[in-house]
Amino acid sequence: MMSNAHSRLSSFRNPIDSILAIVCLTFISQIMISFTLWESLDLKQRVFPAISSLESFSFDLGNLGNPLLIYGLIISLIATSLLNFKKYTIPFCLFLVTILVLQDLLRLQVWVYLYSCILLWLYITYYRKQKETAVEDHSYKVPLKGIAIILASVYIWSGINKVNIHYDTSVFPWLMKISDWTKPFAESTLLARGSAIAEILLGLLLCFKKTQKGSAYSIIIFHGVILYLLVSDGWNHVVYPWNVAMVLMVLVVFTRKDNDNAITQQIKWIHYPVIFLFTLAPTLHFFNAWPYNLSLTMYSGMPLEAEMIFDDTGHECLDTGYEPEMGFHSDTETSLNIADLSTLFLEIPAFAEEFYYRRVAKHYCKCLGAHKMYLQLERKHRFAKQAAKRKITCKQLLRN
C-alpha cells in the first residue's frame, strides 16, 4: 500500500504525467461540450453533413460502430490519465481519433490536432520506453523540450496571424465591444496591432531562460482576459477548457525548478518533426499549402469564407433545424455562410479550406441545384479590405 501511494505521489511530481493528465481531461471536456459533432449514430442523417477525409470512402461504422468509437475514446482518455498502462492506451486513443477524423474532417479542430500531437510526442519520447512498474523516472527533458516548442509556437504564430487588417477592423473591435469596460478600446487600431505583437512576444519570451517565468505568469492574465470576454459573450464554449489547459501546461513546463535551459539549447534530431509541424509548416499557409485550421490562426479573421446562394424557394432542402434568420435575404435570394451553419448546428467552426467547402456545397447541390444555387468563395487579402471572390455553380460542383 505504501508503495502504491509513493508511486502516485511520484507520478504527480512528474511533469510528463501532469501534462498528460491536463491533455486527457481537457480533451474529454471539449469533446463533451461539442458532443453533437462526435455522437452521430448515422452520419448520413446529420443536419450538417459529415465530410469524410477521403471522398471515396466514408468510414461510417453505422449505429453500432460510431458510438463505440467516441465512447471508446472517452474511456481510453480517462484510462490514460489514471492508469499505468499508458504505453498501450495512448496508441489506442490516437487510433480512435484518427478514425473519427477520417469519418468527419470537421472534427480536425486545432485543439484536436494539438492534443493528438502532444499525445503522440509523449508516447514516442517517454511512455513507449517506460516500464509500467516504474516508480520514478527523470528522463523527461527531451519530451518537455518538445512540449515547450509547441507551446511557444502557439503564441508566436497566433500573434503573427493576427497581423492583418481584418483582425484590426473586425475581430478586435468585436472582442472589445463584448464588455462595457473594454468598449472604449474597440476602435483603436494601435491597440489591436499591439495585442498581436504582445502575443508574439509572449511566445518569444518563453524561448529564453531569463524571461520564461515572467512570460508564463503573464500568460495567466492573457488567457484570463480571453476567457472573461468569451464567457461574457457566451460564444465558442468549446475552447474554454483549452484556454485553461494552455495556462496549466505553460506553468508545468516553464516554471519548474529544474528547467535549466532555453528552448534553443540541447535540441536533438528527434525534435525536428515538432519544429517542422509547429514552427515551419504554418508558413506554408501563406501559400495555401497548409490547412488554415492547423496553422494556429486563432481569431485572426482571415479564413476563407464560403456562401451558398440560392433562390428563396430552396429552404426545404436544408433539412430540419433551418431558421430564416440564419441567412441573409434579398427579394429573390438567400445567402448562407457555411461556417455559420456549422457553428449553429454543431457549435464548431467549419474546416476553412476550398475542397471542404466544395464538398459541403455539393451535398446541398443535390437538392438546391434546382433552385439556382451557386457557391461563392471569398479569399481575404492580409493588408487590403477587398477580397477576391469566385463563383462555382452546382453544375460545376456535381461534375467533379
The residue ranges of every structural domain in the chain are: 1-135, 140-300, 305-399
Q: Are 52 and 105 in contact (CB under 8 A)?
A: yes
Q: In what order do the strands lie in the sheet with 328-329?
A: 328-329, 333-337, 305-311, 374-381, 384-393
Q: What is the pLDDT of residue 213?
A: 93
- pLDDT tens-digit map of 325-334: 556 656 677 8
Task: Say if pTM beats, i.e. exceeds, 0.85.
Answer: yes
| Cα–Cα distance for residue pair 43/37, rounded to 1 Å | 10
- pLDDT tens-digit map of 358-389: 999 998 888 776 667 899 999 999 988 888 99
| Cα–Cα distance for residue pair 150/154, rounded to 1 Å | 6
Q: Are 203 and 254 in contact (CB under 8 A)?
A: no
384-393 and 374-381 as β-strands: parallel, antiparallel, unpaired? antiparallel
- Phi/psi for 162 (5° steps) reads -85, -10
Largest CA distance in the chain: 76
* Closest alpha carbon to 59 in 94, 105, 91, 27: 105
| Cα–Cα distance for residue pair 273/143, rounded to 1 Å | 13
User: Can you give the pLDDT of all 400 residues of the chain as single tens digits?
Assistant: 434 444 444 445 689 999 999 999 999 999 999 999 998 767 777 778 899 999 888 888 888 888 999 999 999 999 999 998 899 999 999 999 999 999 999 999 999 999 999 999 999 999 987 654 444 455 788 899 999 999 999 999 999 999 999 999 999 999 999 999 999 999 999 999 999 999 999 999 999 989 999 999 999 999 999 999 999 998 889 999 999 999 999 999 999 877 766 787 778 899 999 999 999 999 999 998 999 999 999 999 999 999 998 876 666 666 555 555 556 656 677 888 999 889 888 889 899 999 999 999 998 888 776 667 899 999 999 988 888 999 999 989 988 6
Tell me the CA end-to-end span of the chain in Å, nearest whole number. Answer: 65
